[in-house]
Homo-oligomer: A and B are copies of this chain.
Amino acid sequence: MVGPSRLMTLLSCFELGIIDLLRDKPGMTAAELGEAVGANPAAVEQLLHLPVKEGFVARDAETGGYRLDAFGRIAPIRLRQVREIMDMVKVVMLRQMFYLTESVRSGSLVGLKELYDFDGNLYEAVGEHRDLRESWATMMDGVTTLTDPWFFRNIDIPRGARVLDLAGNTGLGAILTHQLSESSGLHVTTFDLPEKQEECLANFRSHGVAERSSFIGGDVFASVPAGFDVVLVKHFLDMFDKRDVVRILTNVYQALDVGGQVNILVPVYPDDITEASSAGVDIFPAYFLACTMGQGGPQQLSTYRKWLEECGFKVTKAIAQDLTAMPGALIAHGILSATKVA
């Protein structure tokens, strides 16, 4: 019940600049901090109770001065990542979740409609609303940075393969494929809605991969282009319910020749939901149902395996990250590789 207030109290200490001030000038009192950030010192003292209780910040009982405790020992880059996720929860989720029940009943994003007068999903809304875009994209870039190297270490792309990055947006996935895959001679094609083409090709040029990359415009729900050896499906399937996932995978199956493979990167729940490491179920259902899609949400690894098999694939790999070995991480991703067999 105190979850929302804990998040916002901690985030507000960052937003007000208190944490940065204490890093530069340890020992500042509530009165000094209040003057520096333009806030009532009594309010600063109230906000700092929580980080003091949690050991993030320490307070000297004699002087009343504060200094960073655990926050001072966390690497700045890691602290920035934590703040980015807190900001995403604030901007993309906090107010929107007020309408979770109405969103589930209607299968639509009531919060986006009420708060932004927007009909559609978050991925469309980020095009029009800068606050949503900046908060969400910053967080997603962080997720990609953390998970894609793991993905490319764990899949096998044959040398010289023709690779299709499904729903590849504006080319980041294709660029990462060139950067992170150890296979040589790859040609990577981003497949997404036609309106992404211009920005995608510009990204290819600015990253020096234009000659080994291309763009095809289309809609994964209509059909997937043929002529590729490997299809990548990253950060995508968790947006949909089973019916749509099966439609997408069926279109991939039909586009591949025998021997062609699909490699999927997706957040997964552990097969035993009661495991402590299922932290994903604390956030994803509300994230997808109330804030981003009005449907969808990750599945268990075994569920994705079953759905691949229902579409005709032979699953050759199904692995998941071990959340218990990833301190501070909220989300375990899974990789599923599958082949179209004769």
Contact = CB atoms under 8 A, between A and B. Distances in A.
Interface of A: 1-9, 11-12, 15-16, 37-40, 42-44, 46-47, 49-50, 52-53, 55, 59, 82, 85-86, 89-90, 93-95, 97-98, 100-101, 104-105, 107, 241-242, 269, 273-275, 278-279, 281-290, 295, 297, 330
B49 A269 contact: yes
A282 B9 contact: yes
Contact of A2 (B3, B55, B104, B241): B3
23 contacts: A1-B85, A2-B89, A2-B279, A2-B283, A2-B330, A3-B3, A3-B6, A4-B4, A5-B287, A6-B282, A8-B286, A9-B286, A11-B101, A37-B105, A38-B105, A40-B295, A42-B241, A43-B104, A43-B285, A46-B285, A46-B288, A46-B297, A94-B95
A97 B281 contact: no
A49 B5 CA distance: 23
Contact of A47 (B37, B95, B104): B104
B278 A53 contact: yes
A285 B2 contact: no
A220 to B, nearest CB: 19
Nearest to A52: B273
A285 B42 contact: no
